[in-house]
């Protein structure tokens, strides 16, 4: 099985995450898009975080019933800061994918990739795939990588949180099950 991985805080997971992962999976002929929520990302502070359990539950709901998606909670189980290189090594050891897994990196994160823990180690374990992100310029990356030609979906987690907190409509930016979960649990001020 060929696997492509997308990590992130998913605070909350929205259609932009899902479209990007699905398009990269399809474009590069991966069998499975593996979504890995971070417990605590090393490069950003989580704003209005409802907690890792809620973020994991929403992610599981968003991909439920789709055999081309899976969620792995390895970073949640480890707790603390998690680094992509460690997560990739764990994914390879546990899933034993055919060939190197892909790692999706959004344009918005490309400029900081050199500061990640062990970028060379990441490249030894995975194929880097640079995906387009709405609001981010097409980034240059001085490392071997592939470029995805994915659709730009104008939605962000921070934008979703802002809409919820201000009482604006947000239903269509999320999987319906994630929307219901947010409302039912009064997350982000819903």
Between 42 and 162, the more confident residue is 162
Instruction: Please give the backbone phi and psi of residue 16, each rounded to the nearest 5 degrees, phi first.
Output: -60, -45
Residue 37: predicted pLDDT = 96
Q: Model confidence over 174-186: pLDDT tens digits?
A: 999 999 999 999 9
Q: Taking the complete model, does pTM exceed 0.75, yes or no? A: yes
Q: Is the pLDDT of residue 32 over 90?
A: yes
Take residue 81 and report the two structure tokens written for it: 């800061």
Least confident of 58-62, 114-118, 130-134: 130-134
Residues in the chain: 190
Counted domains in the chain: 1
Residue 43: predicted pLDDT = 66
Mean pLDDT of 1-8: 97
Residue 158 maps to which CATH number?
Answer: 3.40.50.620
Q: How confident is the model at residue 134 (pLDDT cuts 50, 70, 90)?
A: confident
Q: Is the pLDDT of residue 163 over 90?
A: yes
Its domain, for residue 125, covers 3-189
Instruction: Please give the backbone phi and psi of residue 122, each rounded to the nearest 5 degrees, phi first.
Output: -60, -45
Cα–Cα distance, 166 to 120 (Å, whole number): 43
Q: What is the DSSP letter of 94?
A: H
Mean pLDDT of 107-123: 93
Name, in order, each residue with C-beta under 8 angstroms of 1's C-beta and a sequence gap of 6 or more.
31, 32, 95, 97, 98
Q: How confident is the model at residue 45 (pLDDT cuts 50, 70, 90)?
A: confident
Q: What is the chain's mean pLDDT, rounded? A: 94
Residue 157: predicted pLDDT = 94
């Amino acid at each position: 099985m060929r696997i492509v991985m997308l990590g992130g805080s998913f605070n909350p997971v929205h259609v932009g995450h899902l479209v990007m992962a699905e398009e990269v999976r399809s474009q590069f002929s991966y069998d499975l898009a593996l979504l890995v929520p971070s417990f605590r990302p090393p490069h950003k502070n989580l704003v209005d975080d409802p907690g890792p359990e809620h973020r994991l539950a929403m992610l599981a709901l968003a991909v439920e019933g789709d055999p081309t998606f899976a969620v792995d909670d390895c970073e949640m189980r480890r707790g603390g800061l998690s680094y992509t290189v460690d997560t990739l090594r764990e994914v390879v050891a546990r899933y034993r994918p055919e060939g190197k897994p892909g790692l999706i990196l959004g344009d918005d994160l490309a400029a900081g990739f050199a500061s990640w823990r062990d970028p060379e180690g990441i490249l030894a374990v995975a194929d880097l795939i640079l995906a387009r992100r709405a609001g981010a310029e097409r980034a240059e990356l001085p490392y071997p990588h592939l470029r995805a030609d994915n659709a730009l979906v104008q939605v962000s987690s921070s934008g979703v949180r802002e809409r919820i907190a201000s009482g604006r409509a947000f239903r269509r930016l999320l999987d319906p099950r994630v929307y219901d979960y947010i409302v039912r649990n009064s997350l982000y001020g819903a």
